[in-house]
Amino acid sequence: MSNVQSTSRSATSRSASPKSASPSLTFLVLAVGAASFAMLQSLLAPVLPTLQSELNTSQSAVSWVLIAWLLSAAVATPILGKVGDMIGKAKTLVLALAAIGLGSLIAALAPSIELVIAGRIVQGLGGAIVPLSFGIIRDEFPPARVPSAVGILSAVIAVGSGVGTILAGPIVDLFGWHGLFWVPLAVVAITATLAQFFVPESPVKAGGTINWLAAALLAAWLIALLLPLSLGTRWGWGSPAVIGLFALAVVLAAAWVTVEVRSSNPVIDMKMMRLPAVWTSNLVALLFGAAMFAVWVFLPQLIQVPSSAGYGFGATVSEAGWVMLPMLVSMAVAGVFSGRLARVVPFKLQLAGASAVIALSCVALAMLHASIWEVAVISGVYGIGLGLAYAALTSVIVQNVPASQTGTAIGMNANIRTIGGAIGTAVMTAVVTAHHTADGVPEEAGFVTGFLLFAGVAALAMVVSLLIPGAQRQQATAVLAPAE
């Protein structure tokens, strides 16, 4: 019965949409928008040493160029996902694209690290682009095309993330570091214009209001957690500031959960979280996000470490990007074939296999980084895990919630993955910078310890993946849909 209802919803959405555009054209616009946001995940990672030098700041401060963006996206994604379910996903998509453009403008004109971080916070509001895009696919595409469209879009997002690493060097060489913000500004301006004409608005909506108290508590406990994680080495792990902030994070997190449970309009729906497929996939997303960003951010930095340190290759930003090209290619291939592979391998098993690949790749990076070809090959294997994990995570969510809750559910999953990324980045920063040489270069042991640590995190994600049940669309609809 759920398939009949889903088909009816999709048909109604397409006939009622005020804009007439083919699914292929709609998909193209969504893909460009999602890829633009995904590119921001990695575009700055290989350039952090350059920013630190150009803006005369510390490594701890420059790490917040990434952490602040992740934090902003973590808070904004569920809120704008909810807004999309309330007022329309296409309209909210344009607003999210505009936020990326505004943030890019602020950062491009910034004379200091503080304003760059401010621009990145505004950019992070665009995090809702990804769940909104998946929700639009669910609402507007024929049911038979949804799995393949989700898989391809997931691959595009993964590729967009990889492209950021590769394009960072050439952009800096041509335009300076400010170009890292001018280029996204141009792309999202064009995409927002196209979205106005070619992305139809779906009548599949949900009522409610935004719980601003829950949103504020979410932001507060994340800040209280991430500050000591990223600055603990500098402040001292046993210092009153670090211990106090960790304690505050626990208190605020408990208050946030309490508010969410009692709210009729939660930012993150705890009723939905009780669904086995939802809480398990969200836990995997948290672990996956941590392991993904730990490698994404620090592998280019390892490649750029001067060879005089006894490891590293002294590569430029551009050269580091090209070493990671195999990862980009393998992500694309794995993500595209995820939907087809689902005919014989369920998404939960794809996710478990992807987590295992990521874990083994992290172990390999820790043990085998004496030559550039070893790192390139391992990055290619790592990309297979990323591509499959991106596609499988999203598909598990799409299979298990009704259309009216798709934006919220995928937003929740993307939000939790982003939280994991922020935590992973902060932890890896602390591990890598804990020991360094007299001239400030991190010691090799920091990278080795960090990669092994996140190999364990990915292995745990593999175990949790096996707990995810099969497709439960009927059950999810029965639990979440209002009584008729």
The pLDDT value given to residue 228: 87
d(CA 99, CA 104): 8
Distance, in Å, from the CA atom of 126 to the CA atom of 111, rounded to the nearest integer, reads 23
> Tokens 């304003």 map to which residue?
115
Cα distances from 16 to residues 20, 37, 404, in angstroms, run 10, 29, 16
pLDDT at 462 over 60: yes
Supply the angle between the helices 212-235 and 240-262 in degrees, to the nearest 10: 160
Kindly report the pTM of this predicted structure.
Answer: 0.79
Main-chain phi, psi angles of 466, to 5 degrees: -70, -15
Is 116 inside a domain boundary? Answer: yes
Same structural domain, 28 and 148: yes
Where residue 193 falls (left for φ over 0; alpha for ψ -120 to 50; beta otherwise) is: alpha
User: Is residue 3 domain-resident?
Assistant: no
Give the gyration radius of the chain's Cα atoms: 21
Same domain, 272 and 400: yes
* Domain total of the chain: 2
Say which residue, 274 or 1, is predicted with more confidence. 274
- Please list the residues that pair with 436 across neighbouring strands: 442
412 or 350: which leads in pLDDT: 350
Is the pLDDT at 9 greater than 60, yes or no?
no
pLDDT tens readout for residues 139-152: 888 888 887 888 78
Specify the pLDDT at position 403: 64
Inter-residue contact 358 to 385 (CB < 8 Å): yes
CATH of residue 38: 1.20.1250.20
Specify whether 197 is located in the same domain as 310: yes
Is 221 part of a structural domain of the chain? yes
pLDDT exceeds 70 at position 365: yes
Predicted confidence (pLDDT) at residue 1 exceeds the cutoff of 50: no
Q: Pick from 151, 144, 29: which is nearest to 90 by CA?
A: 29
Distance CA 409, CA 269 (A): 8
CA dist 337 to 101, 164, 392, 393, 466, Å? 32, 22, 11, 14, 21
Residues 318 and 260 in one domain: no
- What is the rounded CA–CA span in Å between residue 204 and residue 209? 16
- 334 or 13, higher pLDDT: 334
**Cβ contact 107:119 at 8 Å:** yes
- Whole-number pLDDT of residue 18: 46
Q: Which two tokens stand for residue 266?
A: 């939660």
Of 314, 225, 279, the C-alpha closest to 401 is 279
Q: Do 219 and 298 reside in the same domain of the chain? A: no
Residue 4 lies in a domain: no
Report, as an integer, the average pLDDT of 8-17.
Answer: 42
pLDDT at 19: 53
> Mean pLDDT for the chain?
84
Q: Which residues contact 315 (CB under 8 A, 6 or more apart)?
A: 303, 304, 323, 372
Does residue 385 fall inside a structural domain? yes
Residues 237, 287 within the same domain: no
Q: Which residue has the higher pLDDT, 15 or 94?
A: 94
Q: Are residues 31 and 163 in the same domain?
A: yes
SS3 125: helix
Question: 436 in helix, strand or coil?
Answer: strand
Decide which of 340 and 191 is more confident: 191
Q: For 176-275, where are the alpha helices, taking DSSP H only?
A: 179-198, 212-235, 240-262, 270-273
Same domain membership, residue 203 and residue 251: no
Cα distance between residue 206 and residue 396, in whole Å: 21
The pLDDT, as a whole number, for residue 163 is: 82
Calpha distance 84→148 (Å, rounded) = 23
Domain assignment present for residue 2? The answer is no
Residue with tokens 């928008």: 33
Average pLDDT over residues 357-363: 97
Q: Is 268 left (phi over 0), alpha (psi -120 to 50) or beta?
A: beta
Decide which of 225, 244, 264 is a domain's last residue: 264
Token pair 């393998």 is found at 330
Whether residue 3 is predicted with pLDDT greater than 80 in this model: the reply is no
**Rounded average pLDDT over 451-461:** 97
| Residues 6+ positions from 177 with CB-CB distance below 8 Å | 47, 50, 51, 54
| pLDDT band, very low/low/confident/very high, at 109 (cuts 50, 70, 90) | very high
**Domain end among 202, 230, 264:** 264
Answer yes or no: do 288 and 178 share one domain.
Answer: yes
- Whether residue 359 contacts residue 409, with contact meaning beta carbons closer than 8 Å, is answered with no
Are 77 and 220 found together in one domain?
A: no
228 and 259 share one domain: yes
309 versus 423: the higher-pLDDT residue is 423
pLDDT exceeds 60 at position 6: no
The percentage of residues in the chain with a pLDDT greater than 90, rounded to a whole number, is: 33
Residues in the chain: 484
Identify whether 381 is part of a domain.
yes
Lowest-confidence pick of 149-158, 439-448, 467-476: 467-476
Domain for residue 335, yes or no? yes
pLDDT digits over 370-383, tens only?
Answer: 899 999 999 999 99
Phi-psi region of 225 (alpha: psi -120 to 50; beta: other; left: phi over 0): alpha
Q: Domain check: are 298 and 374 in the same one? A: yes
Would the pLDDT of 296 be above 50? Answer: yes
Contacts of 421 (CB under 8 A, 6+ apart): 41, 70, 289, 290, 292, 293
Backbone angles phi, psi at 306, to 5 degrees: -60, 135
DSSP state of 391: H
Q: Containing domain of residue 230, as a range? A: 211-264
Greatest mean pLDDT among 108-117, 260-269, 396-405 lies in 108-117
Give me the mean pLDDT over the 193-211 stretch.
80
Is the model more confident about 399 or about 25?
A: 25
* 229 vs 257: CA distance, rounded Å: 21
pLDDT (tens digit per residue) in 28-77: 999 999 888 888 878 888 898 888 888 988 777 888 898 899 889 888 88
